[in-house]
Amino acid sequence: MSESNEPMTWNHTAQDEFFMQEALREAEAALERGDRPIGAVIVHNGQVIARGANTFTTGKSDIAHAELNALLRCTAYLQEHGHECVIYTTCEPCVMCLGAIIMANIRAIVFGMPDNYIEGRQVIQAVPYIGKRVHRYQGGVLQNECIQLFRRFSEAEAALCLQGKAPS
């Protein structure tokens, strides 16, 4: 990881966009339910093995994030194949989700919009254990689509994520 606060990025592929579209479908379903529109998919060898959407509000659980919901749907599979998987999520993972992704042995994390409020990327820089295990940390895949969906939910929350502080 670089020392800046910006997400590390690589050139993304058509496959990255395809799977981010799948994560966006999960986020759209969350929005339709009244939840914060964040979606995630876990991919192994070009196949979606698990899906998750934020159920923070409807599930009445502060830890029901999209990434955790996806991880919990394929825990046994991840024990054997986690290091070969990629997680796609519409918003940069928070500290809790990042920790869970690392403990599931997923080495590749691809996200749409940055979260400049929580800045989970700072954990990668600060904790050597995590930094050694994250081999790909890419932001900006279908970023505009992810931001627009989030803004449909809450302009204020989108601004908080994008600007790192509440709008004045």
The answer to whether 17 is a known catalytic residue is no
Radius of gyration for the alpha carbons in the chain, expressed in angstroms and rounded = 15
Strands 136-138 and 108-113: parallel
Catalytic residue among 3, 67, 119, 145: 67
Please count the other Cβ atoms lying within 10 Å of the Cβ belonging to residue 105.
Answer: 15
Please calculate the CA angle 56-58-87 and round it to the nearest 5 degrees.
45
Nearest to 92 by CA among 151, 161, 11: 161
* Residue 153, both tokens: 């939910």
The position carrying tokens 């997680």 is: 87
Distance CA 65, CA 18 (A): 22
- Could you list the active site residues? 67
